[in-house]
A and B are shown apart, each in its own frame.
Chain A
Amino acid sequence: MLDKQGIAKRIAKEIKDGYYVNLGIGIPTLVANYIPDDVDVILQSENGLLGMGPFPFEGEEDADTINAGKQTITKLAGSAIFDSAMSFGMIRAKKVNLTILGAMEVSENGDIANWKIPGKMVKGMGGAMDLVASAENIIVAMQHVNKAGESKLLPKCTLPLTGINCVKKIVTELAVLDVLPEGGFRLLERAPGVSVEEIKNATAGKLIIEGEIPEMVI
């Protein structure tokens, strides 16, 4: 079974040289720590920055330089600043190659719910609806089951949706799965020490298992 860092490490392997990538808040943010040195990527922050760097050294924080999570960050050499309309323009126009974000639920047809729980204070969708509606390549980083032990990979989402037919791949503490265009979660890899049986038990939606499922290499 993977911890959060492990999920981030596995997702980092999906990032290809030359990609522009948008990382959501939570586990996706950790992915930046595991991108190999020989893979050249540029991180987009939807508040208006390409070329996001690591957190600043203590004492070098700049109130004018933050990411979409409102954290102080740095700008790498070659970074570019732009306004919010252009930022979502480049997202809508599919210039951003990969979006990685968290989710509360994903359905077997690729619907995602990650912004609202009825009866709880709703904070808002931020940029998530724009990202999932336009991105061609969306990877979800999340736990396979919720705190109540219920599967988050479902036949149909129960929570209000963020977007439809959009998730392409899911990485959880148990597995890596594809979401097939015709519907269904196709099991690609097992986390170290996790059996296919355990993944079956944790997946409520249609799970497709073809042949021997390899253990993931991190």
Chain B
Amino acid sequence: MNKVVSGADEAIRDIEDGMTLMLGGFGMCGLPEKSILALVKKGVKDLTCISNNAGVDDFGIGLLLHQHQVKKMISSYVGENAEFERQLLSGELEVELIPQGTLATRCMAAGYGMPAIFTPAGIGTEVAEGKEVRNFNGKDYLMEMAFDADFAIVKAWKGDRLGNLVYRSTARNFNPVMAMAGKVTIAEVEELVEPGELDPDNIHTPGIYVHRIFQGENYEKRIEQRTVRKRDN
């Protein structure tokens, strides 16, 4: 079994106009930046993107927005992008804002083969409008549906050619749950290793969920908010 493809262009070769994509990452952290660049180059459009954030103006999903390739964003927080705001206010872009835990758990449900989840997040707010409410043990919960994505694109630290993945630090975030949730899952990794080099006890995403894998070169790994403290002398 060999899931290795030559690079981002081959990995995304059959992503077409109008498809729904999941994109891992939290802000710039753990973002599948090479695949996004390939999507920009390919020029596919009318995409629905499920991702926690919408990138910044010149990096991440912001690059897709800039070329008007995104029809709809499904996110929990989109505050960092002026072009996003412009397209949203002008009606060029549709956005569905959903609670972050609901976003993650709707991915998880898809990966676990469950059609829906019940969560208290959004009860009594506009998020609940039009959704089924069920009461369990005296508390109200919203029924939220599992996502249905054509492709999930994730970024891992290390992976092997069988698709087993290991993430690093908080760059894990949405990547494991999205990896489980795509009809086709593409993983880009900083380091592609041979089967056996990853400890089976420490695999975060088992290879069964991953269909294509490639090693990206020269990760930019941009920092969104560089915060530091001074050394005490």
Q: A92-B120, A123-B79 given as contacts; is B85 within 8 A of A46 (CB)?
A: no
Instruction: For B75, list chain A residues within 8 Å (CB).
Output: 124
B173–A84 touching, CB < 8 Å: yes
Cα A54 to Cα B231 in complex, Å, equals 12
Chain A stretch 107-152: residues in CB contact (< 8 A) with chain B: 111, 121-130, 133-134
What separation, in Å, do the CA atoms of A93 and B54 have in the docked complex?
29
Beta-carbon contact of B228 and A72 below 8 Å: yes
| Inter-subunit contact B170/A124 (CB<8 Å) | no
Size bracket of the B interface: 35 or more
**Contact: B223 with A130, CB < 8 Å?**
no
Q: Which residues of A contact B37 (CB under 8 A)?
A: none
Q: Which B residues are in CB contact (< 8 Å) with A54? A: 229
Complex CA gap A165/B226 in Å reads: 36
B17 contacts the other chain (CB 8 A):
no
Rounded to whole angstroms, the CA-CA distance of A133 and B223 in the bound complex is 31
Q: Most chain-B CB neighbours within 10 Å: which of A57, A85, A123?
A: A85
Q: Smallest Cβ distance from B22 to chain A, in angstroms? A: 12
Bound Cα distance from A65 to B26, whole angstroms: 11
Chain A interface residue count, CB cutoff 8 Å, equals 55
Asked whether any CB of chain B lies closer than 8 Å to the CB of A172, the reply is no
Question: Which residues of chain A are near B162, meaning CB under 8 Å?
Answer: none
Smallest CB–CB gap between A93 and chain B, Å?
11
Residues of B within 8 A of A130 (CB): 99-102, 119, 121
Among A68, A122, A123, A162: residue with most chain B CB under 10 A: A123
Q: Are B170 and A129 in contact (CB under 8 A)?
A: no
A-chain residues with CB within 8 Å of residue B79 when the two chains form the complex: 123-124
Q: Which segment, of B4-12, B61-69, B174-182, faces chain A?
A: B174-182
Note all chain B residues with C-beta closer than 8 A to A57: 228-231
| A196 proximal to B (CB < 8 A) | no
* Cross-chain contact of A127 among B88, B101, B125 (Cβ < 8 A): B101
Contacts of B103 in A (CB 8 A): 84
Q: In whole Å, how far is B109's beta carbon from the nearest beta carbon of chain A?
A: 9
B169: which of A58, A64, A68 is its contact (CB, 8 Å)? A64
What is the chain B residue whose CB lies nearest that of A63? Answer: B221
Per-position 1/0 for B92-112, Cβ under 8 A of A: 000001011111110110000
Contact check, A111 vs B225: say whether CB atoms are below 8 A apart: no
Chain B residue, CB-CB nearest to A111: B124
**Once the chains are docked, how many angstroms separate the CA of A85 from the CA of B178?**
10
CB closest residue in chain B, given A125: B99
Q: A64-B157, A126-B77, A128-B99 are in contact. List 9 more A-B contacts (CB 8 A).
A: A55-B227, A63-B221, A66-B223, A75-B169, A84-B52, A87-B104, A91-B101, A126-B76, A127-B99
